Amino acid sequence: MVQLDLLVKLIISGRVQGVFFRRFVNIEANKLGISGFVRNLYSGGVEVQAFHHDRSTLEKFVNKCRQGSFGSNITNIKQDWINVKDKEFLFSEFKIERTI
């Protein structure tokens, strides 16, 4: 049986830019050993892609994102959970990427 890892893609809406939200997400991901990235979107939201082998760890991370940084106000989180075959899709670290 092939072991599946998980990727969760988040689009987070609300007051999430200019409030150190990306830095907050980066810190929380590193605490949990999650790899992936966070970046601002020109639409005003934030995109997160987070990769880990344990769903409960990713769920904790999503809950942290829902809480947000000081000064942020999360109004919506769109979640897309994807099963990923071992070694097919890997991030080596969690980083803050440039705005798209």
- 50 vs 85, higher pLDDT: 50
The 10s digit of each residue's pLDDT in 6-60 is 999 999 999 999 999 999 999 999 999 999 999 999 999 999 999 998 999 999 9
Name the amino acid, one letter, at 98: R
Q: Rounded to whole angstroms, what are the CA distances from 93 to 32, 35, 52, 89, 97? A: 12, 5, 11, 13, 12
The strand pairing partners of 78, in sequence order, are 11
Reported as a pLDDT band with limits 50, 70 and 90, residue 88 is low
What is residue 91's predicted lDDT score, i.e. its pLDDT?
77
Pairing type for strands 73-85 and 46-52 reads: unpaired
Residue 40 known to be catalytic = yes
pTM of the predicted model, to two decimals?
0.91
Find, among 94, 97, 74, the residue nearest to 13 by Cα: 74
Catalytic residue among 15, 30, 40, 73: 40
- The C-alpha atoms of residue 54 and residue 45 are separated, in whole angstroms, by 26
What is residue 17's predicted lDDT score, i.e. its pLDDT?
97
Catalytic residue among 15, 22, 26, 39: 22
What is residue 3's predicted lDDT score, i.e. its pLDDT?
59
- CATH of 4-96 among 2.70.98.90, 3.30.70.100, 3.90.1170.50, 3.30.750.24: 3.30.70.100
Residue 26 known to be catalytic = no
Residue 23: phi, psi to the nearest 5? -60, -45
Q: Are 72 and 23 in contact (CB under 8 A)?
A: no
Q: By three-state DSSP, how is residue 15 classified?
A: strand
Residue ranges covered by each domain of the chain? 4-96
